[in-house]
Amino acid sequence: MIFSLPFVLTVLVIVLAQAVAAAPWVTTVMANRSLTLGEMARDAVRPKTLLRILAVAVLLAIASVGFGRERTTLETVGMTAGAVVQLQLIVDFFIVGFPLLMLVWPKGGAVAFAAFREGVRQPLFWVLFALGFAALLLSPIVPYFTFGEDLTMVKDLGYDTMMLVAALFGTIAASQSISEEIEGRTAVTLMSKPVSRRQFLLGKFLGILLASLLMFALLSWFFEGVLLGKAWLDRLDPTPTPVWITSALDRMSQADQPTDLLRGVFLWVDHTLSVLPGLVMTFSEVMVLLAVAVALATRATMVVNLATVLAIYFLANVTPVLVSIGQDAKATTPGPVAELLSFTAGLFDMLLPALDYFRIGPALVTDAALPATYILSVAFYGVLYTLILLLFGLILFEDRDLA
C-alpha cells in the first residue's frame, strides 16, 4: 500500500474535476425533468449535492493510494480520467447549451430543441450511430497492406465514417422533419404560435445540426480511443512527450507518482488536440451538406432531397478532376467537345461546394501539421457557404404555400 500525500491530493483534484463535470448531467437525470439554467445552477450547488460529491471524491482518492508504482499504469489511469472528463463535457454542452440558446433566442431555440429531441429519439439516430461505432471498432483489425501506414489509413477512414453517418442522418432528419411538417400542414399550426418562417427554418436547421453534432462528438470520442488502440496493436514506438507537457510538469515539481498521473491526463489532452483539426474540418462538411438538405426540404420530398444531396456530394468531389480534364482537353484537342467539358466543369466548380477543402486525407498522408489559419479559413468557408444555402432556403420557403 502506497501512501503519498501529493499523490492523494492529485487524485483528489482529478476526482473533483470529474464531479464538477458530472454535476449538470447527474442533476438532470436525478431531477428527471426539463430544467432552466437557473434551476440547474441552484440544484448543482445545494449543500447536500456538494457534500455527496465531496464524499465520493474523498473515498475514491483514498482508494487510489493502492495504485502500482509503474509509470505506464499511472499514465493509463490519467488518460482514462481525461477521457471520462471529455465525455462528460460533451454531454454538459448539450444540457447547458439549450437553456442558454432559449434564453437568447426563445422562439427559435424552442424549435431547435424540439427538432433536436425529435432527432435523437428517432431509431435512425441510434442505428446510424451503431453502424458508425461498429465501423470504427473494426477498423483497427482490418489488414490494409500499406507497409507500415495502417494507422494513417485508420485515421482517414475514421474521419470519412463519422462524416458520412452524421451527414446521412442530418439529410434524412431534415427531409422528414421539414418536408413532412409542411406536407402534413403541421407547420401551419406552428406558424400561428406565432413563429415566423425564418425562426421555423433556422430553428429546424440548428436543432438537426446539434443532433448530428451529438452523434459526431460521441463517435469522435470513441475514435480517439480507437487510434490509441491501433497504435498499441501495431506495437508502434510511443511518441515523445510533447514539450508543453514536459514544461508544465517541470514547473509543478511534483513527486514521481503525481507527475506520472498528470502526464497521462495531459497526454489525453494533447491527443485530443491532435485530432481536433480533422474533426473541425470534417464537421464543417457535415454542416454544408445539412444546409443543402434543409434548403431543398422546403420544396422537395425526402427521396428527391436525399438523391440530390448524394448527387451534389459526388459531383463536388469529382469536380476538381473534371476541371483538370477540361483544361487538358482544351490545351491538347481544342474543339466544341473540349469547350463544353471545360464550361460544364467550371460551372460545377463555381456553384457546388468545394468539398475537397474539408478533406484531411492529404495532410495525413504527408504527415504535415495543418496551421491554425488554414483550419479557421476552412471552417469560415463552411459557415459562409452554409449561410448562403440557408438564405436560398429561406427564399424558397417564403413563397411556399402552407395552407
pLDDT tens-digit map of 171-203: 999 988 887 777 765 655 556 567 788 998 999
Predicted TM-score of the model (pTM): 0.88
- Please answer whether residues 137 and 223 qualify as being in contact, where contact means their C-beta atoms are separated by less than 8 angstroms: no
What crossing angle do the helices spanning 256-297 and 71-104 adopt, rounded to 10°? 40
- Please answer whether residues 165 and 249 qualify as being in contact, where contact means their C-beta atoms are separated by less than 8 angstroms: no
- Please answer whether residues 51 and 19 qualify as being in contact, where contact means their C-beta atoms are separated by less than 8 angstroms: no
Length of the chain: 403
What does the DSSP 8-state code read for residue 184? T
Give the angle 32-90-166 at the CA atoms, nearest 5°: 105
Tell me how far apart the alpha carbons of residues 22 and 152 are, in angstroms, rounded to a whole number: 34
Percentage of residues in the chain having pLDDT higher than 90: 43
Q: What DSSP assignment string belongs to 329-343?
A: HHHHS-SHHHHHHHH
**Residue 291, all three cell numbers:** 444546409
Mean pLDDT within 27-52: 54
What crossing angle do the helices spanning 71-104 and 106-121 adopt, rounded to 10°? 130
Residue 177's Cβ-side half-sphere holds a number of Cα atoms within 13 Å equal to 34
Mean pLDDT within 355-376: 84
Residue 164's Cβ-side half-sphere holds a number of Cα atoms within 13 Å equal to 13
Tell me how far apart the alpha carbons of residues 258 and 252 are, in angstroms, rounded to a whole number: 10
- Please answer whether residues 82 and 269 qualify as being in contact, where contact means their C-beta atoms are separated by less than 8 angstroms: yes
- Please answer whether residues 364 and 155 qualify as being in contact, where contact means their C-beta atoms are separated by less than 8 angstroms: yes
pLDDT band for position 142 (cuts 50, 70, 90): confident
How far the first Cα of the chain sits from its last, in Å, is 75
What does the DSSP 8-state code read for residue 253? T
Tell me how far apart the alpha carbons of residues 16 and 183 are, in angstroms, rounded to a whole number: 51
Tell me how far apart the alpha carbons of residues 53 and 60 are, in angstroms, rounded to a whole number: 11
Query: How many distinct helices (H) and strands (E) make up the chain?
Result: 16, 0
pLDDT tens-digit map of 211-221: 999 999 999 99
Tell me how far apart the alpha carbons of residues 264 and 270 are, in angstroms, rounded to a whole number: 10
Tell me how far apart the alpha carbons of residues 170 and 174 are, in angstroms, rounded to a whole number: 6
Q: Which residues contact 194 (CB under 8 A, 6 or more apart)?
A: none
**Residue 156, all three cell numbers:** 482517414
Q: What DSSP assignment string belongs to 375-392?
A: HHHHHHHHHHHHHHHHHH
How confident is the model at residue 187, as a pLDDT?
55
Which amino acid, 175?
S
| Other Cβ atoms within 10 Å of 85 Cβ, number | 19
Residue position matching grid coordinates 469529382: 318
| Other Cβ atoms within 10 Å of 309 Cβ, number | 24
Show me where the domains of the chain are located: 105-398
List the single range of 37-46, 113-122, 174-183 with lowest mean pLDDT. Answer: 37-46
Looking at per-residue pLDDT, the higher value among 53 and 14 belongs to 14
Q: Which residues contact 283 (CB under 8 A, 6 or more apart)?
A: 163, 166, 213, 216
CA-based R_g, the chain, Å: 25
pLDDT tens-digit map of 43-61: 544 555 555 555 555 555 5
What does the DSSP 8-state code read for residue 370? P
How confident is the model at residue 375, as a pLDDT?
94
Average pLDDT, the chain: 83
